Structure 1
């Protein structure tokens, strides 16, 4: 059953696994897999064709070959656009992993960023290191003007392994953890110190441990029972802070703290961005530096493209 423009309509009774038993997988090649992933990421055949430097007719023909090989429509009409089928959603991370593996076959001499028309995916907590991300974006765009750059908000830093293993990110930049799974490689990237932010219209600076303990604190919510590095250190020192408000990211936290007497212990670098309108004081207790690591999957360690991207990120230290 087909709709306009040759796109299949979703059949209400079709089993997504139907026709998947005898796949012609050996009839596929890397270009077709790259096309599938590009359509999946852009949710548009025309945009995917533009990114890959091919005509829309060639892209449509390639998709039809994929449908026959995989035994699934992959994308169906949805309103004015298209939407991936359940099978396409299931295949996307596996196809991404296959392409990453193929990328690793190339030697460093074969990668030319100026000719690259693909996409880079960097997962991080965007507002935490926004000035650094602006630098990274500028350097990538200068050397690789035809690539698409995706900055993903990764949420909790414990998500790094899943994102890299699934191929959903080329690199992760996250607050350091004491250890990582064996399939992840890590390198220290940035370091910063903690300060206590406050609204000077509503309260004065934190001047003692007693003042810190009595203050109303605002903090990031990492979900479940995950504690920040600051929270872990305060707990180790036996210092209890009253967290009266939490938010999912530093931008939201700063906005909610405006014109209030909350205190937030956050990295100093945020004074250049989301906390620029706040005053800050040095914490009355010793706190370790806040460090960020760059992480990548071990399968990409020798991949020319990933190695180039890591070098770009290193250059922003």
Structure 2
């Protein structure tokens, strides 16, 4: 873009920035809130004005051309100037907003967090669409690109450029049938060793549980292994098996299935559940609104306040 050339429409520059990050016309359309045909038309105009294909289709998505790599820096400078000088970005109005938010969450959060978030949105932001994605090795890159808006959970490996905010602390509990014949008086370490267990392989805190078991020299008698928490409540409620899991999901399942909660009889390191987002979207009005909603729904009573820390 030469200074003497007329600048493309700001919406075309916004498309260029988003498409450069997400490498997908479909995802770009979702983020901008336009149909795919409209996005294709805009991309055609941008290609004509900048006299370059800008993006080419590859098996990995829409790859930028060398010319696009050269232009992305000046494009972002122009967009940032527009945001600062003309308040070009619209305010986020929850009641009328039409937007998709993608949350990276653990399997347990499908039971503990998403229902409460969804109920709030149905009342206060009925046009919002939620999409749940797994927390995995791609979480950091999806937050940076804007493909995901927030990650909620125990995600200690996220690198620099990420903000984080504490929601609540997690300890460990044991879940059992309320009528368990051998646990009427409670659960001690000897009983824990002797009972049959359900092992949940999902969850970012499982390494903490494994470490606690190793320190205590306990090898559980695993009767059933599940990939996630789906079905665990029904299984515990109809057998004499025991499950060891974080308190939040344990208490939720206990309330749903009339189960009994016991303090974990061995020492397992707890962890902190936080919400995480990339610095690029720290001032995005929609992202900020969603963060405030989640903080208000799940912060603990002893929280010191919404302290954001750039890691």
The TM-score with structure 2 as length reference comes to 0.65
Which residue, 23, 26, 30 being the options, matches 2:14? 30
CA distance in 2 between counterparts of 1:122 and 1:265 reads 26
CA distance in 2 between counterparts of 1:163 and 1:59 reads 21
Distance 1:200 1:307, change over 3 A: closer
Q: Which residue number corresponds to residue 121 of structure 1? A: 102
* SS of aligned partner of 2:61: helix
Deviations, residues 49-80 of structure 1 (Å, cap 9, x unaligned): 9x8367x87456346557883565x6xxxxxx
Q: Which residue number corresponds to residue 284 of structure 1? A: 265
Which residue, 156, 162, 174 being the options, matches 2:153? 174
CA distance in 1 between counterparts of 2:176 and 2:82 reads 52
Contact 1:103/1:303 (<8 A) preserved:
no
CA distance in 2 between counterparts of 1:272 and 1:139 reads 21
How do 1:151-230 and structure 2 match up within 5 A?
Answer: 151-154=132-135, 156=136, 160-175=139-154, 177=156, 180-200=158-178, 203-205=181-183, 207-222=187-202, 227-230=206-209
Contact 2:55/2:63 (<8 A) preserved:
no
1:294 paired to 2:272: no
Deviations, residues 184-239 of structure 1 (Å, cap 9, x unaligned): 2222112243221123466533621111122222222149x984322223333444
Distance 1:144 1:272, change over 3 A: same
CA distance in 1 between counterparts of 2:109 and 2:261 reads 17
Q: Which residue number corresponds to residue 219 of structure 2? A: 240
Listed as ranges, the gaps of 5+ residues in structure 2 are: 1-7, 300-311
Distance 1:113 1:301, change over 3 A: closer
**1:130 Cα deviation after fit:** 3.4
Distance 1:147 1:226, change over 3 A: closer
1:40 paired to 2:26: yes
1:86 paired to 2:59: yes
CA distance in 1 between counterparts of 2:240 and 2:120 reads 40
Distance 1:137 1:231, change over 3 A: same
Q: Which residue number corresponds to residue 303 of structure 2? A: none
* SS of aligned partner of 2:147: coil
Contact 1:35/1:59 (<8 A) preserved:
no
**1:173 Cα deviation after fit:** 0.4
CA distance in 2 between counterparts of 1:239 and 1:71 reads 55
CA distance in 2 between counterparts of 1:31 and 1:281 reads 53
CA distance in 2 between counterparts of 1:105 and 1:141 reads 33
Contact 1:127/1:249 (<8 A) preserved:
yes
**1:241 Cα deviation after fit:** 2.7
**1:105 Cα deviation after fit:** 7.6
CA distance in 1 between counterparts of 2:81 and 2:273 reads 26
Q: Which residue number corresponds to residue 314 of structure 1? A: 295
